[in-house]
Amino acid sequence: MRHFLEGYDHYQVGDNLKKQIGDWTEANPDPEARADAAYDLDQVLRFIDNVDDSTLKGSDRLNGKVDGFSNYGYRIQDNSEASLLDRFSYEGYSALHYLQT
């Protein structure tokens, strides 16, 4: 999660992610809600990183980062962990429902 938050990759999906799981940043004045959102984000990122390689061709499984972002997050590679995270940011947990880990 630290790699994701410290990088530029999340800029394209960050606002929509916050709509799905809540605001994990200091902009959220409620520390408990912020902690819950950070926990949920960590769980989603770990799940996506664990998705079977045969499902996502543009990613390396279990490498501790979300693969598929490029150009500082302004481009997302098709069929990658980044594209799945982007889909989750719009559709929510239903985007992850039938994936194999």
Q: What is the pLDDT of residues 29-55, one digit of tens each?
A: 999 999 999 999 999 999 998 887 777
What's this model's pTM, rounded to 2 decimal places? 0.82
DSSP code string of the chain: -HHHHHSSTTHHHHHHHHHHH---STT---HHHHHHHHHHHHHHHHHHHTS-TTT-TT--TTSSS---EETTTTEE-TTSHHHHHHHHHHHGGGGGTT---
Query: What residue spans define the domains of the chain?
Result: 2-96
Give me the residues of the chain with pLDDT under 70, please: 1-11, 58, 60, 71-73, 100-101
Q: Measured between alpha carbons, how far is 98 from 62 in angstroms, rounded to an integer?
A: 19
